Amino acid sequence: MINLSVLEVGVIGFLAQIIDGALGMGYGVTSSTLLISFGIPPALASASAHTSELFTTFVSGISHFKLGNVRKDLLRPLISSGIIGGILGACGLVTLPSKPIKLVVGFILMSMGGLIFYRFLFRRGKINTEIKTYPPSRLRTLGFFAAFIDAMGGGGWGPICTPSLVLTGTEPDKAVGSVNLAEFFITIAIAATFLALIGPEKFRWDIVLALAIGGIVAAPLAAFICRKLPKRLLGILVGLAVIILSLRILLRR
């Protein structure tokens, strides 16, 4: 395993949070992938990323809230069911085969990413600017599924929730901000479950701290970028991000 300096890990956290905070997805996947590419064992990389998200999602969520990127009507259903799904997903990770689930999720995300990319690239005049409400039952189902996959696969909350909301009419900046703030509460449940299951002594707390510091520094900037980007461009970037993340899931052995 390559020894990374605190500064190098901090840069990884910074870059991962810029992507996640601006597009509503990618912190866990980006940070885990970069850590693994430097020789950090996959399990340790995933655990470190999830734990550091406790800090980054808090700062990111508050930043989005202050900038008006959050819709409160989306939060409660996503959080309440997401906590349950995250806990069950973390528990299931040690007993259920994750590869078939990842393949299914990869194909679903690929389809969603393609639809979003097409919608915002070729239908620039049909972007919905009205505030659309959702049945709480639909949001609870979305939150449960996304959190379950996130815990089992090391990522998935943002890639599943954000495009789902965008495809059904939510403005991209509101989808990104609401998903980011809800993720803080989901991450608490998932991280606590992992800590209980594998024990805190197996964690690399220096990596966790460096990732968290880098992400905290980046969070306000990422929220500002999300707020200022044109909605059409943000939608296109969200679609591309989902496609790239889905390819990573499908191609990863």
Residue in this structure with the two tokens 């709480």, named with its chain if needed: 136
- Predicted pLDDT of residue 140: 95
- Predicted pLDDT of residue 205: 87
- Predicted pLDDT of residue 88: 93
Q: Check whether 189 has a pLDDT greater than 90.
A: yes
Cα R_g (the chain), whole angstroms? 17
**Residues 105, 149: contact at Cβ < 8 Å?**
yes
H or E stretch including 1? none
- Predicted pLDDT of residue 43: 64
Instruction: Read off the DSSP letter of residue 169.
Output: T
Distances in Å between the alpha carbon of 67 and those of 120, 174, 223, 225, 235?
23, 10, 8, 11, 18
- Predicted pLDDT of residue 125: 41
Q: pLDDT grade, residue 214 (50/70/90)?
A: very high
- Predicted pLDDT of residue 49: 83
Mean pLDDT of 60-64: 90
**Per-residue tokens: 64:** 């989005």
- Predicted pLDDT of residue 127: 47
* Cα 231 to chain centroid, rounded: 19
Q: pLDDT grade, residue 17 (50/70/90)?
A: confident
Instruction: Read off the DSSP letter of residue 176.
Output: H
Q: What is the rounded CA–CA span in Å between residue 220 and residue 19? A: 12
**Per-residue tokens: 143:** 């939150």
The predicted-structure confidence for 127-154, as pLDDT tens digits, reads as follows 454 556 678 899 999 999 999 988 876 6
At CA 158, angle to CA 1 and CA 175, rounded to 5?
A: 150
**Per-residue tokens: 109:** 């995300």
Q: What is the rounded CA–CA span in Å between residue 122 and residue 188? A: 39
Lowest-pLDDT choice from 2-11, 67-76, 133-142, 202-211: 2-11
Q: pLDDT grade, residue 237 (50/70/90)?
A: confident
Higher pLDDT, residue 133 or 107 = 107
Q: Which of 252, 242, 241, 249 is nearest to 102 (CA)?
A: 249
Q: What is the rounded CA–CA span in Å between residue 19 and residue 21? A: 6
pTM of the model: 0.76
Share of the chain above pLDDT 90, in %: 23
- Predicted pLDDT of residue 119: 74
Q: What is the rounded CA–CA span in Å between residue 128 and residue 25? A: 22
For residue 23, how many other CB atoms are within 10 A of its CB?
A: 26
Q: What is the rounded CA–CA span in Å between residue 9 and residue 213? A: 9
